[in-house]
Amino acid sequence: MRFTRLRLTGFKSFVDPTDLIIAEGLTGVVGPNGCGKSNLLEALRWVMGETRAKAMRGAGMEDVIFAGASARAARNFAEVALTIDNADRLAPAGFNDADSLDVVRRITRDAGSAYKVNGKDVRARDIQMLFADASTGAHSPSLVRQGQISELINAKPTARRRILEEAAGISGLYQRRHEAELKLRATEANLTRVDDVLEQLG
């Protein structure tokens, strides 16, 4: 899956609608300090379902919304849209009926985040799975933050293992296993309750 376009509105320093075409090959982002280069990478991570405000360099997730500047009022929402070329049909089942996927995340003050794929409402989990299966997720090693290399060197083995798992494209499987285990536990509790009722009837 190849990223072909990134659109931002009200996201961090990108207060005005900004439309970036991502051409084939290597893309470089250059500019003076503080012009928003890291904000662009954070927009990518955010639209892929990032839930940790800290990874967005904020105290809360609403900090990604344009907070105002001397001559501009703060915004009430932020939106990032990422277009993915899916001509080779590598997206997981459920997303695989289109040549191109338009993934949109929008956050509104006091109302949280909402996600859409090709105009249809989807859950945060579906988006996280979509990118985890493609090994490009919000925690992917293909997105390297400033300072991340030294963090990696100093990381505990379990944290390092998570990075390797994301790179291998198996972190989505772990999430599914965790959800299956929760369902299993709920079913076991239900069975125990049925046994109690049967005992009372008998």
Q: Which residues contact 71 (CB under 8 A, 6 or more apart)?
A: none
Minimum CB distance to ligand ATP, residue 163 (Å):
22
* Angstrom distance (rounded) from CA 192 to CA 197: 9
Comparison of 13 and 18: residue with beta carbon closer to ligand ATP: 13
Interface segment toward ligand ATP; rule CB under 6 A; list 33-41, 90-98, 114-122, 164-172: 33-41
* Angstrom distance (rounded) from CA 163 to CA 189: 34
* Angstrom distance (rounded) from CA 24 to CA 42: 21
92 is in an annotated binding site: no
Site for ligand ATP in 47-86 (CB under 6 A): 63, 65-67
* Angstrom distance (rounded) from CA 56 to CA 67: 14
Comparison of 145 and 185: residue with beta carbon closer to ligand ATP: 145
CB 27 within 8 A of CB 45: no
Selected binder of ligand ATP within 5, 37, 116, 162 (CB under 6 A): 37
137 is in an annotated binding site: no
User: According to the binding rule CB under 6 A, does residue 35 interact with ligand ATP?
Assistant: yes
Annotated binding site: 32-39
